[in-house]
Amino acid sequence: MHSPTRRRILLAAALAAAPLAAWAAFPERPLRLVVPFPAGGAADLMARGLAQHLGEQLGQQVVVDNRGGAGGTVACEIVARAPADGYTLLFGTMGTQAINPALYSKLRYDPLKDFAPIALTHITPRVLVVGPSVKARNVGELIALARAKAGQLTYGSAGNGSSSHLSGALFESLAGVDLVHVPYKGSAPLLTDLLAGRVDATFDSFTVYEEHIKSGRVRALAVTSRTRMAALPQVPTLAEAGLPGYEVSNWLGVLAPAGTPKEIVTALHAAVIRAVADAGMKRQLTALGIEPAASTPDEFSALIRSEIPKWARLVKASGAMVE
């Protein structure tokens, strides 16, 4: 016959083992990866590749759920309020996690308190692209044209205060020019208008413009990263092209709702890292000008914390604000 003390010990062991067994079985059903932008844009293309490989690692389908709007805040709110069970994930970006806190006066999620970072997965420089009606063949000519047509040349972005918007604001500041910012609801509708000549330029992801750059329908004048892109070796960086100090590289990664059990975060992290390390995925990303990335949850958290004050300064300087 068991003593009361021994029964308590056995009961405690059984209770402790129950959640461990549940976590060991994770995942038991499909997962949802919420993407803060519409289908067809750069973030969506990256998310779909990641979802496929992540699903293979987890043995469950990972369904991409596009929830564009309000600079990614709609998607972030959905995930922040989702059950912390690992089945709803966010494909967070530099914009949603680091820029929005300075941009929105009434942000309905906290990028630090409401999420459990899992891993950084992608780093993507932007490309300065001009449409067919713009005569400039290089950055110097674009700056000269912008000065000659002060307040007339337009550049589109994926939204007010997005990283593509602030990339343009930084260009204006360093080049001493006055451009007209035209915000869109994501990269896909912006691409349509750039090809049609309704907007002159953009600072957007190479992923979306690759085929149009190669076909000559649009021209890539520079890349925003510190070094040239392997996919566009002939295109200079903006720093090389006459704007020293210019550097912007967007980053993206996977986050879960805050409070997700550590064991599930660990399991998801391991699967994400294996997915990003897949040789086929790495080749595909590199060809698109995207750098596959990998980090620990703590490293990803530290990156987000360090980026928030950096972008707050640029948002303030740009005057961008969303109510």
Q: Give me the residue spans of the domains in the chain.
A: 30-123+250-318, 125-223
Question: What are the Cα distances from residue 21, in Å, to 65, 139, 279, 322?
Answer: 29, 59, 32, 46
Distance of CA 35 to the CA centre of its chain: 9
Q: Is the pLDDT of residue 8 over 50?
A: no
Q: Which residue is it, tokens 């990335």?
A: 293
What is the rounded CA–CA span in Å between residue 306 and residue 8?
47
Would 30-123+250-318 and 125-223 be classified into the same CATH topology?
yes
What is the rounded CA–CA span in Å between residue 180 and residue 301?
35
Higher pLDDT, 6 or 274: 274
Tell me what pLDDT residue 163 has: 83
What is the rounded CA–CA span in Å between residue 262 and residue 57?
19
What is the rounded CA–CA span in Å between residue 34 and residue 43?
11
H/E segment holding residue 145: helix 139-148
Superfamily name and number for 30-123+250-318: Bordetella uptake gene, domain 1 (3.40.190.150)
The fold adopted by the segment(s) 125-223 is D-Maltodextrin-Binding Protein; domain 2 (3.40.190)
What is the rounded CA–CA span in Å between residue 100 and residue 163?
10
Per-residue pLDDT, averaged over 177-191, amounts to 90
Tell me the percentage of the chain whose pLDDT exceeds 70: 92
What is the rounded CA–CA span in Å between residue 39 and residue 128?
22
Give the tens place of pLDDT for each residue, 248-305: 888 999 999 999 999 999 999 999 999 999 998 888 888 888 889 999 999 999 999 9
Per-residue pLDDT, averaged over 96-103, amounts to 93
DSSP sequence for 83-94: -SSSSEEEEEEH
pLDDT bucket at 145, cuts 50 / 70 / 90: very high
The residue type at 247: E
Distance of CA 272 to the CA centre of its chain: 16
Cβ-based neighbour number of residue 294 at 10 Å: 17
Tell me what pLDDT residue 206 has: 87
CA proximity to 229, closest of 255, 243, 256, 250: 250
The residue type at 252: L
